[in-house]
Amino acid sequence: MTEYVRPLGNAEDTALRSLIRSRTVAAGIHDRARMIFWASQGQSPRQIAARLDYKEDHVRKWLHRFNDEGLAGLQERPGRGRKPQFSATDALAVVETVLASPG
């Protein structure tokens, strides 16, 4: 597995620092930005995992994804669960029918 992060470009470094300082970014993105930034500063996945209370494999996963995809790789991918079978409009019609008073 990945033990390092590739060298950051100036734009990536600036973007990571901005994500780390942000108070409105999602917590997962914030943690992943810190993982990448700390790895670029020479910290090992083990050290980063200990600082953030994550498993080492979790840190390596995000380092690997960043190396392959850049900043876009910090986003969550869609889940594997079953996809909705009804549109929002269809679901609303069912709920309205169920909630309507009989008669």
Q: What pLDDT digit, counting tens, does each position of 42-76 carry?
A: 999 999 999 999 999 999 999 999 999 999 999 98
Q: Residues 48, 35: contact at Cβ < 8 Å?
A: yes
Q: Residues 69, 6: contact at Cβ < 8 Å?
A: no
Q: Residues 36, 61: contact at Cβ < 8 Å?
A: no
Give the rounded percent of residues in the chain with a pLDDT score beyond 90.
67
Q: pTM for this structure? A: 0.73
Please determine, for residue 40, whether its predicted confidence score (pLDDT) is greater than 90.
Answer: yes
Q: Residues 40, 32: contact at Cβ < 8 Å?
A: no
Range name among 7-11, 33-37, 45-49, 91-95 with the lowest pLDDT average: 91-95
Higher pLDDT, 42 or 99: 42
Give the DSSP H/E element, type plus range, for residue 93: helix 88-99
